[in-house]
Amino acid sequence: MRIAVLDDDPILLDLLKATLERHQHVCHAYASGSALLKDLRHETFDLLMVDWHLPDMEGTQVVRTARQMAGPNVPVLFITRRSDERDVIEALSSGADDFMSKPLRMGELVARISALLRRAFPEAMGSRLVFGTYHFDEGKRSLTVRGEPVELKNREYELALFMFRNAGRLLSRAHLREAVWGVVVDKGPSRSLDTHISRLRTKLALTEANGYTISSIYGMGYRLDAVDTGADTTGGGSTHTHTTSATSLLPIRSHSKMGTSVGSTSEPAW
């Protein structure tokens, strides 16, 4: 998963980056709140880790602003030397989902991150392979649509499955390239991604009639949406479908918690 870590301690940043990458995550490190908030205008992440005391602003301010920019679903984990109950309450009230006090215990940190990600993105973290009329076969690395096989190249298959497992989420170009190509870059052209998206839209017939559409969001990236066709898009025989409205593009402020536990211890760029 793609994780942003905000802390002004370079030694801790290096340790966190190494730990997260060892557990198959992609880590983007930030030393100031303004740098992270600037990137949130055109980037997407699966989880944010935020320190409280920063050189330019308080972590609680970063979290409140990040919630408005990234929406309510991206989990936020506070990491700080503070440990009083009132500090925990203030952190969670600002919009964080969990709280850990320094010094961090890396095993516990990884476990908490995994738990937050499972609750926030069960599809992305799961093994679902059937999405309405779209059936993936990971063993054969193949896809059928309405029972008909669709010929996909290796990257096309990986991109399609990743987007279906993240349906309803706006994913930045860099987010997609890192997840599918393993390319970690800050800026630059992404014509290969655009070409692959165009091919998938055609090959998979991503239309309302088939229950899914794909949208290009200027300055950000792409989003695959399930649409209400009256047909089963859940793969489980139900006629209920999920509909994503245009208003979901707007940032939503939320202070709701995802099973919160308390420990002691985003302008156009392309």
What pLDDT, on a 0 to 100 scale, did the predictor assign at position 12?
96
Q: For residue 187, give the DSSP letter.
A: S
The pTM of the full predicted model, rounded to 2 decimals, is 0.80
CA distances from 219 to 28, 33, 38, 108, 247 (A): 19, 21, 13, 36, 17
Question: Which pLDDT score is estimated for 96?
Answer: 95
- Output phi, psi for 104, to 5 deg: -80, 140
**Cβ within 8 Å of residue 83, ≥6 positions away:** 101, 264
- State the Cα–Cα distance between residues 131 and 231, nearest whole angstrom: 11
92 φ, ψ to 5°?
A: -70, -35
At 259 the pLDDT is: 38
| Phi and psi at residue 221, to the nearest 5° | 175, -130
Q: What is the pLDDT of residue 125?
A: 86
pLDDT, residue 219, reads 86
Q: Which two tokens stand for residue 243?
A: 């509909």
Q: Where are the strands (E) in the chain, listed by range? A: 2-6, 26-30, 47-51, 76-80, 98-101, 130-131, 134-137, 142-145, 148-150, 171-172, 212-217, 221-226, 261-262
Which pLDDT score is estimated for 187? Answer: 52
Contact between 30 and 5 (Cβ < 8 Å): yes
> Contact 103/51 with Cβ under 8 angstroms?
no
Closest among 121, 202, 213 to 156, alpha carbons compared: 202
**67: nearest Cα among 264, 269, 242, 257:** 257
Tell me, what's the pLDDT at 228? 77
Q: Quote the pLDDT of residue 126.
A: 86
**What is residue 217's three-state secondary structure?**
strand
What's 248's DSSP letter? G
Amino acid (1-letter code) at residue 79: I
Residue ranges for the chain with pLDDT beneath 70: 184-190, 229-270
C-beta atoms surrounding 258 within 10 Å:
16
pLDDT at 265: 35
Distance CA 3, CA 227 (A): 29
CB within 8 A of 117, min separation 6: which ones?
A: 1, 46, 47, 75, 124, 125
pLDDT for position 190: 66
- Supply the pLDDT for residue 237: 39
Domains in the chain, CATH or no CATH each: 2-120 (3.40.50.2300), 125-249 (1.10.10.10)
End-to-end CA distance of the chain: 22
